[in-house]
Amino acid sequence: MREIILIQVSGNDRPGLTAAFTRILARYHLNILDIGQAVIHDSLSLGILVEVPPGADASSMLKDLLFEAHKRDTSVRFRPIDEDRYEQWVSGQGKDRHIITLLSRKITAEQLGDVTTVVAENNLNIDSIARLSGRVHLEGEDGDPNARACVEISVRGEPRDTVAMRAAFLAIANERNVDISFQRDSAFRRNRRLVVFDMDSTLIRSEVIDELAAEAGVGDQVAAITERAMRGELDFNASFRARVALLKGLDEGALERVRQRIELTEGADRLIRTLKALGYRTAILSGGFTWFGHWLQALLGIDYVYANELVIEDGRVTGEVAEPIVNGERKAELLREIAAREGIDLEQVIAVGDGANDLPMLGAAGLGIAFRAKPLVKKNAAHSISTLGLDGILYLVGVRDKDQQELLR
C-alpha cells in the first residue's frame, strides 16, 4: 500500500519558505503528486501532495518539516490520503471545467456569496479563485468611479441546469451591480484571435444618426425610430431607410461637426491597444456610417470596417443609403467571412454589441458580449458587461491588469 500525505503550510509570506520545505522533501526522495500555492495580502498557503516511496522514513520527514515550520514561525499540518480516494480524485481530471468571471467597480462579499451559492446548488466544485484586477487603494466613501475589479473562479463539473443557473446569475447581476460570465474552460477561451465591434453606443458613446438628425433639426423623429429599432420592435432595414430619409438636405460639413463631439467609450483605446499588442485582428461591423467607421479605423488601428455608405451629392445628404444595408444578418455574415479570410475558427472570435441587430453576430461568435445593452439584448446574449468599460473584455479572456501594463509599456 502506497503512503500518500497532504502537507499544508501556512504563515507570513517571505522569500525562501517554499524552498526550505521542498528541500526537506527532496532529501527523502518523495514524488510530488500535486502542488499549489497562493498568497493573499502577505499570508502564504502552500499545499503539497506527496507519495512516500517504499523504504523512506516518513516519520523522520514529518519531524523535519515540523522543526522547519517552528524555526520559520509557520504552521504545518499533515493528512494521510487513502490510495483509493486518491485514484478517485485522479479519475475526475477529465471532467468539464468552466470559468466564472465577476466584474464590477468593487467586488463585495454579497456578490461573491450569491455567486458561490449558485455554484454549490449546481453541484460544481470550485478548484481555484484568482483576482485578475490589480491591487486597489482604499478610497473615500464614494470610491473611485473608474475603478475596475475582477475575480475569476475555476469550477469543475457540469451544472444541474445551465439555463436556470444563467438566469440566477443574471438576477444576481441586476441586483448586486456585478457582471457575471460563465464560459467553458477550453483552449479556444485562452486563444481568441479576432474581435468584431458594433460602433455606435459600443466603440463610441453616441448614436451617430441621432447626432446627424439633431444637426438636421429632426432629432426627436429619428430618436424615436432608433429606440424602437434597438429594442427589436422594428425591422432594421425599413427603420434605417426611414431615418436616413429624414436627413435629406443636410450639409456635408455636419459630419465633421458631429465627429468633433464624439467620445470614445470608456476603455476602448486601452482595449484595442492591448489586443493589437497580443496580435488580435479587429473589425467594425456597424449599422452606422462608413465615414465615421474609417475615422475610427485610422484613430485606433482597426483592421476591417464594414458599415453603411451615406449617399452625398453636391455637398448634401440625399436621404439615401447605398445597398446592401449592414443589418444584423449581414453583420453575422461578415463576421464569418473575416474569420474565414484570416483562417480563424469561429470559437476564437469575440463579438461585441449593444442592440437587437447585434444578436446574430453575438450568436455566431465563440464569445458574444452584450455591452451596456438593452434588457432584451442582455437576456438573449450569452455574456454581458454593464458595470465596466470595454477593457473589461480583457478579463473574460484571462488577461490580468499586470499583463496589460506590461503590454502597453
Residues with a known catalytic role? 198, 200
User: Is the CB of residue 274 less than 8 Å from the CB of residue 404?
Assistant: yes
Element (H, E) at 50: strand 43-52
Handedness of CA 154, 160, 166, 169 (dihedral sign): negative
For 356-400, the DSSP string reads: GGGHHHHHHSSEEEEES--HHHHHHSSEEE-SS-GGGHHHHTT--
How far is residue 265 from each of residues 90, 201, 262, 339, measured CA to CA in Å? 46, 8, 9, 25
**Triad 22, 27, 30: Cα angle to 5°:** 70
As a whole number of angstroms, the distance between CA 345 and CA 350 comes to 11
User: Is the CB of residue 326 less than 8 Å from the CB of residue 307?
Assistant: yes
21: nearest Cα among 82, 80, 74, 86: 74
How far is residue 190 from each of residues 136, 349, 368, measured CA to CA in Å? 26, 11, 15
Give strand pairing partners of 308.
289
- Helix (H/G/I), strand (E/B), else coil: 271: helix
- Helix (H/G/I), strand (E/B), else coil: 267: coil
Within 8 A by CB and 6+ apart from 96, the residues are 156, 157, 158, 184, 185
238 is written with which cell numbers?
A: 425599413
How far is residue 379 from each of residues 188, 359, 390, measured CA to CA in Å? 24, 11, 19
How far is residue 327 from each of residues 10, 197, 286, 376, measured CA to CA in Å? 57, 13, 8, 18
Within 8 A by CB and 6+ apart from 402, the residues are 134
As a whole number of angstroms, the distance between CA 132 and CA 257 comes to 40
